[in-house]
Amino acid sequence: MISRRPTAPRTELLAAAAAGVTVLLWASAFVSIRSAGEAYSPGALALGRLLSGALVLGVICLIRREGLPPRAAWPGIVVSGLLWFGLYMVVLNWGEQKVDAGTAALVVNVGPLIMALLAGWLLDEGLPSRLLAGMAVSFAGAAVVGLSMSGEGSASVLGVLLCLLAAVAYAGGVVAQKPALRHGSALQVTTYGCVIGAVACLPFAGQLVSDAQDAPLSATLNMVYLGVFPTALAFTTWAFALARTTAGRMGATTYAVPALVVLMSWVALDEVPGWITLVGGLVCLAGVAVSRSGPRAGSGPGAGAVATATTAPPATAVGAAPEPGPQPRSEGS
């Protein structure tokens, strides 16, 4: 039988295109949140986004005839649903009402380091010295960002702290998903995590209805966009790319997100972080680079710790196959 699988160059091209779509959609989410947040409260925006995403993911589940996840997958699904799909989205929305989209993206990007720290502690993946050094550098950068915003009032400092909390919730949710992915498919884990996040945000249903009555159409469309594209479609394209290339190469693409957010927010919202804020954000990214500058995977236990933890976000993508063991060694966004 003749194989019809794509040739290696074509596969790499398709993977690169899919990764590019994912990065663009994830970057656009920060801008859309900032725009929709002018009309929707943080909880209402999170609920509307999650309901839109759950609807799309549910349709995909029906088309693929996915059943309920196995019982062993549910603890991780519940925790990730509450932390990543629930708490993360609410506090990020809140934070972006206090700071611009570019600043939020720069601060939230310390998430992969927090993932590595949590994985080393909770999943016994070790705490290599370069990881700890990278953590110190990144949080120094976050402190610079916070200090740069202090002159703009306490609300801006609160926004930076909320973005840091969002990074912690995001990291905790991803680490919780990793064991679940050993039992259920990524589509199941992602779909039901989104549903649980929506259920957790149901107390904001009254605000959602009230805000929707007064919100301009553009804000409502932005909310739906967040659910359909960055929440559902972006995970699908990420899974497509991850299945066709290495996790390390995929993870490296996420470093483009903050730069794209700054560019998009400048064009769409006429917002650009101040120079000191940008410097602090670059220090945050430098900390992530330090944590990844150790020996390559396979050369020692320390390398695998950072790699495994930071690979987790793409592993939650829709359609990726569950893995029997630890995730591939590298990083994601």
pLDDT on residue 174: 76
What average pLDDT does this structure show over 288-297? 58
> What pLDDT was estimated at residue 51?
97
Contact 231, 55 (CB under 8 A): no
The structure's pTM equals 0.73
254 or 40, which is more confident: 40
The pLDDT of residue 43 is above 90: yes
Read off the pLDDT band of 141 (50, 70, 90).
confident
Instruction: Determine which of 13-22, 257-266, 324-333 has the lowest per-residue pLDDT on average.
Output: 324-333
Q: Tell me which H or E stretch contains 103.
A: helix 101-108
pLDDT in tens, 48-74: 999 999 999 999 999 999 889 999 999
Q: What is the pLDDT of residue 274?
A: 74
Q: For residues 155 and 234, which has the higher predicted lDDT (pLDDT)?
A: 234
Which has the higher per-residue pLDDT, 194 or 129? 194
Mean pLDDT of 250-269: 70
